[in-house]
Chain A
Amino acid sequence: MARAAQTDYEIVAREDFSDATYLLEVRHPLMARAARPGQFVIVMAQPHGERIPLTLADFDRRKGTVTLVVQAVGKTTREMQQSCHVGSALHALAGPMGVPSHVNGAAKVLCVGGGLGVAPMFPQARAHKEAGATVIGVVGFRSRELVFWEDKFRGVCDELILCTNDGSAGLRGLVTDGVRLALEKHPDLAEAVVIGPPVMMKACAEATRPRGIKTVVSVNPIMVDGTGMCGGCRVKVGGRVRFACVDGPDFDGHQVDFDDLMARLARFVPEERRALERWSESCRAKEPAPLEETLELPDPFEEVHGG
C-alpha cells in the first residue's frame, strides 16, 4: 500500500450536466480505495475557501479517482464551477468521511434520488445490486435537459422510474410521485434508500411509513470539520442529538426530525447571500459584459432544484 503522500488533488475530468450541475473527477488513489457508498468528503477549493461537504457520487479504484457532482447554488459552488478545470487542483480534499451505508443484501430495495441526491444515490444502487438485491430506482429532475446518468442508473437498476417536473421525460411529477408508483407496483419492497433535499426525504419517509418499510435517508447539514469536532451538523434522530459527520450521514428516515434539519440549514442564509453578492460583483468587475446572474439563492427546501 502506497503511503498517503498526497498533497495535490488534481481534477482529471469534468462534465457539465447543465448550467448549474457539473461533475468533477479527482485523483486520489487512497480515497478511491477506501471509499464506500454513503460516505462524503470535505472540499476546499482554494486557500481562502470554506470547507464544504459533498457526498461521493462515485469512486474508481482502478483509475484511483473519486467523483463529485456539484450544484452551483452558492458562492463556493459557483466559484468552483468557474475555476475547477481539468488539470487544476482542489486546495484540500479530505475523506472519505461518515459511516458507510449498510448494504445488507435485502431482497428488493427502492433507491430514490432527487436534486443533489441523484448522483450520490448511484454508488448505493450499485452496491445493493452487487449484493444481490433487486433494485428499483426512482430519480427526479426538473426537465429532460437536466437528466444525467440515466444509462448508469439503468445499468444497476432492475427497474428505473425517471420523473421530471414538466413531464418532458419519463413520469410527469415529483420524485415522491415516482415513489408512490413504485410502492404500488412492488408490495415486497424490503428497504428504501432516499437521498435528496430534506423536504423530499421527509415526503418519501412519510410515503413508506404506513407500510413499515425500513427507510434510510442521507442527511446533509452544514459542517465545518466533518470529523465530529464542531457539532455544527447535529441532527435530531428519534429525539436524540446525533452528529451527521460521525454518527451518520445515514439515519432512519422515520426517526429524523426534518423540520429541525431544514431550520438548521438556514443558519447562514444572510451570510451566504452577502458572499454571493460580493463574488458576483467581483465577477462583473472582471468581465466587460455584465453577467446575467440571478442573486436569489435557490430555495433549499424546494423539492427538486437545478438537477
Chain B
Amino acid sequence: MASAAKKKTVRTIPQLRAAMPEQDAGQRSRNFAEVACGYRLEDALHEAERCLFCPDPACVAGCPVSIDIPGFIRRISAKDFRGAYDVITATNLLPAICGRVCPQESQCEGVCPVGETLEPVAIGRLERWVGDKAIAEGWSSAPHIEPNGFKVGIVGSGPAGMACAADMAKAGCEVTVYEAFQEPGGVLKYGIPDFRLPNAVIDAEIENLRRLGVNFECNTLVGRLFTLEQMRDEMGYDAVFVGTGAGYPSMMGIPGESLNGVLSANELLTRCNLMRAREFPQYDTPVPVGRRVAVIGSGNTAMDALRVCLRLGAEKVHCIYRRSRAESPARAEELHHAEEEGVEFHWLTNPVEILGDAEGGRAGNVKGMRCVRMALGEPDESGRRRPLPVAGSEFEFPADVVVFAIGTNANPIIGQTSKIRLDKRGYIETDAELATSMAGVFAGGDIVTGAATVIEAMGAGRKAARGIKRYLGLDPESASPERLFGIPVSEKNFARIRAL
C-alpha cells in the first residue's frame, strides 16, 4: 500500500473527480429530500485513488479540527472502511454532518495540491460517505472511558456544544447538554434544511454522543431556568461550556420591516425545519408561503431560505444582494445548487424600503420593495469592495414575502442573567483558551465570534474542551504546581477546592 502510494503523481491519479449523484434540479426544487444523494462505493473508491497521500498534508492544516485526511482516505483505498471511520472520529465525531456542511473549498480542499492542476480531492464527499456508512452499519466510536468524577455542563446543543460534549465525555467527564428547544441539534436542526442535512443524520450523530454517555436535557433555557452561577455553585458542575450561538437576527432598519410577510431567515427556517411548517396543517405551525419571495443577503442562510421557499411552493424566488456574486459569502455548492434550482439573483441591489398594501392600520401586508442599484467602491475592512448606492437608480420590486438573511447579533440571555464579561457588541469575551471572565466557564462558537460556520463552531467546541481539560487538570502536560485540582492556586477559591 505504502509503496504504491509513493509512485502517485498528479499525472497518474484518476484525472476526473467522481461526480456527486444528485436529484434533478427541476424535481428536487419541489421536495425536501436530500439534494446530494451521496457517493456509491465505486465513487468513493475512485475518489480515494485521487489522493496523493502528501507526506506533509496541507489539507490537515486546512481543517479546523485537523482530521488526518490522508489517513482516512488511505483506509478507504484499502477498503478498511471501519478503519477510515475510526481515523476520522479520533478528531471529529460528526463526519456525516461535517462532510455535508463544511465549506471545504475554503478549507481542506482549497489547499489540496491536486487542485493546482485538477479538481481537488473531494474530501468532504469522502468524509460524508464514511459517516453515512457508519450510520448504516451502526458503527459508533465508543472508546473505553474511565470516569474521572468531574461534571461538565454544556449550554446549547448545536455544533459547538456537541463537539465539546464529545471531547469531555471521552476524557471521562459526566456531561450534560442543555437545549432550549424541544429537541437537540441547535442550528443543525432549526437552521439547516433537510435537503442539505437530513434530520435522521443529526439524530444518528446525537445518538453516538449518547452512547459516549452524554446526557441531553431539552426544554431548558439556561440563564432563566437556572444561571451559569447556579450550575457552578449549586448544581455541582466543575466546568461549563457556553455555546449558545449568536441568535438575535439583524434587520436593516428600513421602513416597512414590521409589515406582515417580512421575517428573518431564522424564523422562516425554524418554522419550516424544526417545527415542520412545510407539513402544515398536519403540523400546527404555519409559515408564510409567498408567491414571489425576496430574500435579502447571499450567505449560506440566505441560500437555505431561498431554496426552502422554492420547495414551499413559491412561484418566483429572488436573491437580493448588495455586492456581486464574487463577494457572496455562500458556500460554492449552495450558490450553484440555488442557481440550478431557478433562484433569480439580483446582484448589486439593495432594498431601501419595504412597501405595504395599506398605509398603517391592520392590513399591513408586504407588496414589494423599493430597491437601489449598487456599485463597488474601494475595499472595506472585510477586504471586499464596499458597495455604494448609485444615485437615481431606485426602482420598485414586487414581492409578497421578504426574508432578511443579513446576519445575527449576540443573543442577550446569558449576559442578562450572569456576570460574565461581554464585549462591546454583546458577545462573550474569552482568552486564547476560550476561558471566560468566570472561573470554570468557557465559551465558543457564534456567541464568541459572531456568526460563522458549523465546522468553525465545532473547532471552537474542541478548543474549549482542551481548555477545560487543562483547567480541570486532566491534561498531564499542563499540570503545574501553581494549580491545585486544576484551579489556579492564586484564585484562592477554597469553596470550590473543598467541593472537589
Q: Which residues of A contact B (CB under 8 A)?
A: 1, 3-7, 9, 30-31, 34, 39, 44, 48-51, 75-76, 91-99, 224-232, 234, 236, 241, 243, 246-247, 259-260, 262-264, 266-268, 271-272, 274-275, 278, 301
Contact = CB atoms under 8 A, between A and B. Distances in A.
A236 B267 CA distance: 18
Nearest to B269: A230
B288 interface: yes
B386 interface: no
A31 B225 contact: yes
Nearest to B186: A229
Given A92-B182, A263-B362, A274-B281, A4 B217 contact: yes
Contacts of B285: 50-51, 224
B54 interface: no
Given A4-B225, A268-B288, 10 more contacts: A48-B282, A96-B224, A224-B270, A228-B248, A229-B245, A232-B264, A264-B258, A267-B260, A267-B288, A301-B362
Given A30-B225, A231-B264, A231-B266, A259 B360 contact: yes
Instruction: Kindly state the interface size class of chain B when it binds its partner.
Output: 35 or more
A278 B84 CA distance: 51
A231 B225 contact: no
Contacts of A97: 221, 224
Given A1-B235, A4-B217, A48-B284, A96 B247 contact: no
Interface in B237-284: 245, 247-249, 251, 253, 257-260, 263-264, 266-267, 270-271, 275-276, 280-284
Contact of A275 (B182, B219, B281): B281
Given A76-B284, A262-B362, A263-B260, A5 B217 contact: yes
A234 B176 CA distance: 32
- Counting chain B CB atoms within 10 Å of each CB, which of A39, A50, A241 scores highest? A50
A-B pairs, top 9 by smallest CB distance, nearest first, are A271-B286, A230-B267, A50-B284, A92-B182, A94-B219, A1-B234, A231-B264, A50-B285, A229-B247
Contacts of A51: 182, 275, 285
B258 A260 contact: yes
Contact of B286 (A3, A44, A259, A272): A272
B362 A278 contact: no
23 contacts: A1-B235, A6-B217, A30-B226, A48-B284, A49-B283, A50-B286, A51-B182, A92-B182, A94-B219, A96-B225, A98-B224, A224-B275, A226-B221, A227-B413, A228-B411, A229-B266, A236-B258, A263-B260, A263-B362, A263-B364, A264-B260, A271-B280, A274-B281
B202 interface: no
B150 interface: no
B53 interface: no
B422 interface: no
- Counting chain B CB atoms within 10 Å of each CB, which of A231, A232, A264 scores highest? A231
Contacts of B220: 4, 94
Given A5-B217, A264-B258, A34 B226 contact: yes
A49 B218 CA distance: 16
Nearest to A259: B360
Contacts of A247: 412
B221 A94 contact: yes
Interface string B206-244: 000000000001111100111000100011000000000
A264 B267 CA distance: 14
Contacts of B275: 50-51, 224
Nearest to A91: B182
Contacts of B284: 48-50, 75-76, 275
Contacts of A271: 280-281, 286
B420 interface: no
B224 A39 contact: yes
Contacts of A48: 276, 282-284
Given A48-B282, A275-B286, A225 B182 contact: no
Contacts of B360: 259
Interface of B: 176, 178, 180-182, 190, 217-221, 224-226, 230, 234-235, 245, 247-249, 251, 253, 257-260, 263-264, 266-267, 270-271, 275-276, 280-286, 288, 360-364, 411-413, 416
A246 B412 contact: yes
Nearest to B257: A241
Nearest to B230: A1
Nearest to A31: B225
A243 B248 contact: yes
Contacts of A267: 260, 288
Contacts of A31: 225
A77 B155 CA distance: 31
Given A227-B180, A275-B284, A99 B416 contact: yes
B289 to A, nearest CB: 9
Given A1-B230, A4-B226, A259-B360, A94 B180 contact: yes
Nearest to A261: B258
Contacts of A260: 258
Contacts of A262: 362
A271 to B, nearest CB: 4
Given A50-B275, A246-B416, A267-B288, A231 B251 contact: yes
Contacts of A7: 217-218
Given A229-B270, A246-B413, A263 B182 contact: no
Given A1-B226, A231-B267, A232-B267, A94 B288 contact: no
A3 B190 CA distance: 26
A264 B219 CA distance: 26
B178 A4 contact: yes
A224 B271 contact: yes
Nearest to B217: A4
Contacts of B249: 229-231
B366 to A, nearest CB: 11
A53 B258 CA distance: 20
Contact of A230 (B225, B264, B283): B264
A263 B221 contact: no
A236 B271 CA distance: 23
A232 B180 contact: no
A31 B257 CA distance: 35
Contacts of B176: 3
A3 B234 CA distance: 10
Contacts of A301: 362
Nearest to B417: A99
Contact of B251 (A44, A224, A241, A278): A241
Nearest to B183: A92
A228 B361 contact: no
A95 B181 contact: no
A225 B182 CA distance: 10
A230 B245 CA distance: 12
